[in-house]
Structure 1
Amino acid sequence: MNISKEKVDRLNLVLKVDVKRGDYINEVEKELKSYSKRAKVSGFRKGHVPIGLLKKQYGNAVISDKVNKMVQTEISKFIKEEGINHLGYPIPKEQDGFTWEEKDFHFEFDLGLMPLFRLKLNPKNITYYEIKVTDEELEKQIDTLRKHYGSYVDGEAWKSDDNLICANIKGKGIDQKDTRFTLAELNDGVVGKIKTLKKGDSVGVNATKFLKDENRLLGLLGVSKGVLDSTETLEVEITAFKNIVLSELNQDFYDRVFGKDKVTSEESFRKLVKEQLKVNYQRYAENQFQNDFMEALIEKTSFKLPKDFLVKWIRFSGEKVLTEADAEEQFKNAEQSIRYQLIENKIIEDYKISTDPKELELFIKNRVKLQLESYGQFDPQPDYLEQITSRILDNEKQIKSYRDEFLVMQINKLFKNEGGYKKKEITYEEYIETIGKEKDKKTKKTKGFLNGLRKRI
């Protein structure tokens, strides 16, 4: 087999592949012989079907399979050895009157190339938001923690939306005791009815419109969808309103939130909660800073893409062939995403940004810790933290997500060192309002399209 390349222009080339009969015939004959031992053909005993008959019936299909696999493998090796930086994968050119009869073959493939361009990391008018924590937000977070670590006491009537409601529920084929749900789970039309009840009272409700989430309702009632659909009304008898009692601001509470003796006063507790909120808020700002910086780079970094090839690749790369118009539309929607990813890859390459395994593991561990803190677990056991981190490191899909986030963090550091930007202190509420207005003005750029685009054959 011989493979050569012919450059069309800076963004396109043609791969030419010549396959001789001798390159594939041994594999084809070996496959046919193997099949003859297990083939069942009328008029012949198993294992005694003539090779010539099998060749006549299945020869072309076997040739097609073997040659295609061989060509794909060798093209992939050729691209790697030649150091061809490409987009998508090679697309075979059509041949009039082509057949898979036993012979020498010649194939040609179109291939799009990555554009060459230079970067200048000094876009103007970029804002880095420093999000401050307001007293109101701090109090809200402390209340959330006090509820999380609080306790429930039985009450005779509804007191607040935080109540946990206990009830016996009956209906056609349904008899569930001591079910538990919250007002937030109820459909709007049911909330008012439940609030007026007292312990021991009952009310009839539309079975399918009791809870907002149907799956949650099926689990609560312990029935199938068929049983629920055949039930018109549920009789809900209140057995208790469990009213939440907020945890006191004392040492026991501080220990439960942050770990034993990590905090010893209300002042230090408030300070640490505020710091945790600040860290979480700043993660949003970091992501926004990188998006804004990248969008500015896209606007000022000019380069052409192999559009005709990419449209063709989009057209034929899915499960079904698209029309040319649909492929054009998809390219139009994806173009900014492609440019985004190419520029990001260029930054990683030019500035030698990498993911050291030990640094990545530490980053993942810190991210897991932050996530646990968002659930109120501020002092997870080291073994538990290691267990979750190890599980992530064993999951390729998850580790890719964390690796991408780690790279974003490193790119942000680069932007702060290399690029011009201004800082602005802002509250979280103001930040949400500002970002919302910006999104209304421009289309949000997305990433990830190029993962498939750069796939090797």
Structure 2
Amino acid sequence: MQVTKENKDDLNAVIRIVVDKQDYEKEVNDKLKDYKRKANMPGFRPGMVPIGMIKRMYYKPILLEEINRLVSENLTKFIDNEKLNILGEPLTSKEEQKEIDFDTQESFEFVFDIGIAPEVEADITSKDKLPYYVIDANKKLIDKHADSYTSQYGEMTEGEEVQEEDVVKGRLSQLTPEGEVIEGGITVENASLSMKVVKDEEVKKQLTGAKVGDVLQIDLKKAYPSEAELTRMLNISKEQVESESMLFQLTIEEISRWKKAEINQDFFDKAFGEGEVTSEEEFRNRLKEEIEKAYAQNSDFKLFLDAREKLVSKFKAELPEEFIRRWLLESNEGKLSEEDIDKDFEKVRDDLKWQLIQDALIKKYELKVEPEEIEQLARQQVLMQFRQYGMANVPEEHLNNYAAEMLKKDQERRRLYEQRFQEKITQLVKETVKLEEKKVKDEDFSKLFDKK
């Protein structure tokens, strides 16, 4: 088998693969013999079907499968061995690939176009200047997070009168337009109506102030314009929602209200672990630390985006744009049109530039990510997920098990590696460039991302 590369220019090349009969003959014949051994056809004893018949039936598909394997493996091997830094994937050459006749030919030539990545010299120096935004953890922000904590660790209580955020439970009975209960009509026991979801102001006023035992006439189509909401609530089809009367009698049986947790020791223990926080002052200091830590990550991410933008703007090397456009079109066949590619091409080009810059930085500064770092990052993310559900104290064994499951997924593992490299590049930027610290309010910091 012959595999060669011919350069068209600095950014484009073709790879030729010639597959001769001697490359595939033994493997194809072995597979034909295996098919003969396993063949079970009418008129023949098992394993006794003539090889000529087996060959007529299976030779071509076996040949195609074997040649496809040989070409794929050797193309990848050649690119790796030659250390070719390519963009996208090899594409069958439109200009140089000749038509192949698998019925008559014994030798086959395959020609692939490749896009060559340019040599990139990326550098970060102390001459570079970048803003570093620090979010002010002021009283307003701490109050906001305190309110979020007390809401998260609150509990459902009974209310005497319906208020704007309550959940009303009761019996729903379908009515005629004249307000009479329809015998055999739609009836729902223990129906649940959330005041937060009610859209109509008139219905909200009607419900507000109502008590357990009150009987009201509710136009559910006004209260909940969403067909999906009504089909779920009433357990009926969309067709019934459209054709049936949505005027219902509601007999209120229960008023449920979410009550925020009181700021006391029981709340502190649930939120942070027993004895970890013992006063409101410690609670607010803990929130301040959490806010500063969380926003430091946001500040670092903004710095990363600004550094990326600066480095991409310095990128002067040319890219094989015609090849990239064709690769995008063929790899997304039926999903993207040429107009779609034109519209988003600037972003795609910048993403490719950044990938080359990032690879250059990783190589130049010898940045490495060890498996232990990824395991630790996985545990941290699992712990954050548990905390979102109000579980602050999770046994180490549980964290390790969930993290191990996460790392079994290739996509998740790649995402964590990319995140860790991003963190290391951000740290490199922080240690190298001149940072101009700027204090901003939370809402102003959020607006900085809207500009992008």
TM-score scaled to structure 2, two decimals? 0.84
Is residue 2:240 matched to residue 1:240?
Answer: no
Q: 2:140 aligns with which of 136, 140, 143?
A: 136
In 1, distance between residues paired with 2:354 and 2:208? 52
- Corresponding residue for 1:377? 391
- Corresponding residue for 1:334? 348
- Corresponding residue for 1:449? none
Q: 1:409 aligns with which of 407, 416, 423?
A: 423
Instruction: Classify 1:246/1:312 alpha carbon distance in 2 versus 1 (closer, same or farther; 3 Å).
Output: closer
Q: 2:109 aligns with which of 106, 109, 123?
A: 106
In 1, distance between residues paired with 2:384 and 2:315? 36
Is residue 2:60 matched to residue 1:60?
Answer: yes
Is residue 2:24 matched to residue 1:24?
Answer: yes
1:238 partner SS: strand
Map 1:12-411 onto structure 2 (within 5 A): 12-36=12-36, 50-56=50-56, 58-94=58-94, 95-101=97-103, 102-122=105-125, 124=128, 126-161=130-165, 163-170=166-173, 175-188=187-200, 191-195=204-208, 197-199=210-212, 200-206=214-220, 210=224, 214=228, 220-221=233-234, 231-233=244-246, 235=248, 236-320=250-334, 331-411=345-425
What are the superposed Cα offsets for residues 101-133 of structure 1, whole Å, 9 maximum, x if unpaired?
341112221111221111121475522111122
In 2, distance between residues paired with 1:152 and 1:304? 62
In 1, distance between residues paired with 2:370 and 2:387? 26
Letter in 1 for 2:73: T
2:318 partner SS: coil
2:421 partner SS: helix
Task: Give the CA deviation at 1:23.
Answer: 1.1
Extract unaligned runs of 5+ from structure 1: 440-457
Task: Give the CA deviation at 1:296.
Answer: 0.9
Instruction: Classify 1:245/1:20 alpha carbon distance in 2 versus 1 (closer, same or farther; 3 Å).
Output: closer
Structure whose CA Rg is larger: 2
In 1, distance between residues paired with 2:46 and 2:247? 65
In 2, distance between residues paired with 1:124 and 1:173? 74
1:302 partner SS: coil
In 2, distance between residues paired with 1:345 and 1:231? 63
Deviates further, 69-78 or 309-318: 309-318
Tell me, yes or no, if the aligned pair for 2:191 and 2:233 is still in contact at 8 Å: yes
Instruction: Classify 1:282/1:194 alpha carbon distance in 2 versus 1 (closer, same or farther; 3 Å).
Output: farther
TM-score scaled to structure 1, two decimals? 0.83
Tell me, yes or no, if the aligned pair for 2:167 and 2:194 is still in contact at 8 Å: yes
Q: Quick one: percent identity of the two aligned structures? A: 27
Deviates further, 115-124 or 299-308: 115-124
1:110 partner SS: strand
In 1, distance between residues paired with 2:40 and 2:402? 53
Task: Give the CA deviation at 1:6.
Answer: 2.0
Tell me, yes or no, if the aligned pair for 1:8 and 1:14 is still in contact at 8 Å: yes
What are the superposed Cα offsets for residues 140-182 of structure 1, whole Å, 9 maximum, x if unpaired?
2222222332333322312342x23323334587544334453
